Structure 1
Amino acid sequence: MMDSSRRKSAEAAMITGAQVFPSNNKRKKALLLSLCARLLPDEMMLEVLLRLPVKSILRFRAVCRAWAALFSSEDFCSHHMAISKVVRPAPKLLMLVSPTTGLNSTAMYSCSPSGSRDDLLFTVDTARRNSMGIVTPSTDHGLTLLYDDAVPAYYVCNAATRAITRLPPHGSPTYRSATGLGFDARTREYKVVRLITGGCGDKERNKCEVYTPGAACWRPAAGGGVPFRLSRYAISAAIHAATHKVPPVFANGLLHWFIGPSLIATRTRAPILTFSLTDETFGCVRSPPPFWTSEVDLRYGSEKEHLVVMDDRLCMVRDLRNTIPRDGTLEIWKLVDYSPGEWSLYH
């Protein structure tokens, strides 16, 4: 009796195994996916996928089209990064641009300070050797802005999904331009912003162009561009960024351009030009005290100060080691409040 029941169970198991694992690979994959979908609800399946490491996600994109679309979506990437920060802090990735053996291709690598080797992300076959450069390093949402000055053309890449998007052509700047990448928390999408300044004879001295995902072309800023009261700040910020190859810094939903003091005839207490990714309007922020207190500071200030993001806060680094008279200190100021321009000495 017992042997008979065991034999029936074994036969049932064999039948189930034959149904679930047929010889046809396509049918096998479809049955496995349908079986998993019946066993786990969609919400639970999503929670499991959100906790996968990046390498597993890259492999699982080949499972089916639905998973490939899910893993490439902006919502999944942002939720995956948020969970990764809470569950297990992932190592910081550094982006490297390297020419390939071909004359018209450039390779993009990612590396971790704790890793032993570099991982090839993708190859851009339309970029000449040594013409591609990193404009904005990875933001909080894992995106990197690249620029090919030979075309010229901008690219936005995602190191987690290895996806790369070439932006539509843009008009060449008359004089100088400074481009930055940021994330709009309201629309849950990234934006690429170009601050352009023309020559003295141009009818419109300052311009601002914005690109959003899926758009066919660049468009003017919705907030109306650079206001007249900030026009000379915008000129100084664009020239300083283009000359010193310093892109704007993204923090707290704003892009921040440093204003070169040597490019402004009079002293100012607002050395930072801001652009809101949500409202697409410009503003300015006061500097930490003391700032530009001597004529030496006016001449060399643009080489001593720069903006960084530390602990998700905008910070200004002031290098006073080679000033006259010599100070020998390196200061890092953290912005506490935007409206009054309140800073605190961080280090």
Structure 2
Amino acid sequence: MMKQRQTVGNLDIDGDLTYEILLRLPAKTVLRCGAVCKAWRHITTNLTFLSDHAHHRPPEALLYNSFGKATSKINMELDALSVAAHHQAAVPERRRLACFPRYKNRGTGRLPRTGVSEQYCPLLASCNGLLLFRKGIDHYVIYNPVTRQWAEFPRLTGGRNLMECHRESGFYFHPQSGEYRLLCHCTMNRAVYYMVLSVGGDEPRRLDVEATEIELFSTTQYTRSMMTPGALHGHLHWLQHPEGRLTNHMAVFNMVDETFKQMTSPPVTSKFFADLLATDKFLMASEFTDLGVDLWVMEGYGAMDDRWELRHRVVLPWMRGVTLERPLLIEGGNDGDVIMGTAYGLGVYNVKSKTFRIVITVKPPDALLLSRNMLRESLVPHTFFDNQQHHPTCLPLFHFLS
């Protein structure tokens, strides 16, 4: 009996290992392979292949290249560090993504005399291989470090007077429209509401949902983790958020219909010293201990009897003898991996095998400046990059180096 040939999209890959080999190569190598012959170019430009390739890419931690007396540096470098087990080496390789000013020095070459730093182009979030940066107050830029393409979001102010206050509250992909969107909590003239910015869009859009005011003295508490929600099953989840404050529940945002609801919070001692993340299947929460992290797992997600269970207690080897050091839960990867670290180390805990693997450690006075964001390389094309009008003066001091 003749075997039926296997196809992916419009690709015939039966009996040919080329597709599987290309699928596991780094993004830059895939781009080079596409120039070898027409057959390989046909594979490496196929949308199905590009989507599969992005899904197979190992996670990379994002961290800043500043050691020791980091506050004296004018420039900052954003690096990517692979945390995949098969990429480990004696000295993990840090791949440079970008270089940008740490302060707006107005051409003086010195820090502001007021002593108050004006952070310039901070990294806010990542989603599907795309990074979100902010320039100034309300200027947002999305960037793909693999293809070196970037595009701008519409400005919140639109040339009008600046809003009294706005806080970024989530960066997400809207599957129905194919848009990447930024959710902002806004306060203006005592009116409180949410605005949505779509990359490549013309104007911000106001959501028709009720908004809860952020208390003046609780701003730090409720905005510390607003840009690092746990994304699972088409929803964003926050341990601390204005929409969960009054009931002490978790706030949940539906990324499809763009509405809020609430869910049961994990029984952590203090939300301020806890983090929330999503693995490939589970919603998890952390509670920090003297030697590491306790991990809570939500059972029965979406059911009436959803509950939290303490499943894992992780000891971070470099925590012994370290005081006042708060662990940072970064993200859940595929295959049950949870990436976590502190200023002195970065490692991966696997919830299936219950094993911990060290990626990198440093000793004082050196320190790791970790981001809560992870990166997975993506070659998936986006029309908003092609349609964007690029202005060289948009980010005059920002250099993309990947």
- TM-score class, shorter: 0.5 to 0.7
Per the alignment, residue 224 of structure 2 pairs with 244
Paired residues for 1:225-240 under 5 Å: 225=209, 227=210, 231-232=211-212, 235=214, 239-240=219-220
Shift of 1:218: 2.4
Q: CA separation in 2, counterparts of 1:303 and 1:109? A: 27
Per the alignment, residue 237 of structure 2 pairs with 256
Shift of 1:177: 0.8
Does 2:132 match 1:145?
Answer: yes
Does 2:82 match 1:112?
Answer: yes
Paired residues for 1:42-57 under 5 Å: 43-44=12-13, 47=19, 49-57=22-30
Give the letter aligned to residue 182 of structure 2: V
Q: What CA deviation, in whole Å up to 9, does each residue of 1:202-235 have, x standing for no partner? A: 1x21223241x432332233xx23x3xxx43x63
Does 2:188 match 1:209?
Answer: no
Judging changes above 3 Å, is the alpha-carbon distance between structure 1 residues 97 and 131 closer, same or farther for their aligned structure 2 residues?
farther
Secondary structure at 1:156 match in 2: strand
Q: What CA deviation, in whole Å up to 9, does each residue of 1:119-171 have, x standing for no partner? A: 2345679x9685122212x44x22222222x3642222234434333323223
Does 2:251 match 1:278?
Answer: no
Instruction: Assess if the C-alpha contact under 8 Å between 1:50 and 1:76 holds in 2.
Output: yes
Shift of 1:343: 2.3
- The alignment covers a number of residue pairs equal to 264
Judging changes above 3 Å, is the alpha-carbon distance between structure 1 residues 309 and 112 closer, same or farther for their aligned structure 2 residues?
same
Q: Which has the higher strand share?
A: 2
Q: CA separation in 2, counterparts of 1:235 and 1:191? A: 25
Instruction: Assess if the C-alpha contact under 8 Å between 1:256 and 1:273 holds in 2.
Output: yes
- Choose which of 302, 312, 320 in structure 2 pairs with 1:338: 302
Per the alignment, residue 122 of structure 2 pairs with 133
RMSD of equivalent CA atoms: 4.4
Structure showing greater radius of gyration is 1
The unaligned stretches of length 5 or more in structure 1 are 1-40, 85-89, 292-296, 322-327
- Choose which of 151, 154, 167 in structure 2 pairs with 1:177: 167
Q: What CA deviation, in whole Å up to 9, does each residue of 1:294-343 have, x standing for no partner? A: xxx6xxx342222123344221212366xxxxxx9953212231343432
Instruction: Assess if the C-alpha contact under 8 Å between 2:235 and 2:252 holds in 1.
Output: yes
Instruction: Assess if the C-alpha contact under 8 Å between 1:241 and 1:257 holds in 2.
Output: no
- Choose which of 42, 45, 60 in structure 2 pairs with 1:93: 60
Shift of 1:56: 0.9
Give the letter aligned to residue 111 of structure 1: L
Q: What CA deviation, in whole Å up to 9, does each residue of 1:39-80 have, x standing for no partner? A: xx854499465454322124357789xx99996897654321
Instruction: Assess if the C-alpha contact under 8 Å between 1:58 and 1:161 holds in 2.
Output: no
Q: Which has the higher helix share?
A: 1
Q: TM-score, normalised by structure 1?
A: 0.59
Q: CA separation in 2, counterparts of 1:309 and 1:73? A: 29
Judging changes above 3 Å, is the alpha-carbon distance between structure 1 residues 280 and 119 closer, same or farther for their aligned structure 2 residues?
same
Per the alignment, residue 22 of structure 1 pairs with none
Per the alignment, residue 276 of structure 2 pairs with 307
The unaligned stretches of length 5 or more in structure 2 are 1-9, 67-72, 106-118, 313-402
Give the letter aligned to residue 109 of structure 1: D
Shift of 1:92: 2.2
Secondary structure at 1:209 match in 2: strand
Instruction: Assess if the C-alpha contact under 8 Å between 2:171 and 2:180 holds in 1.
Output: yes
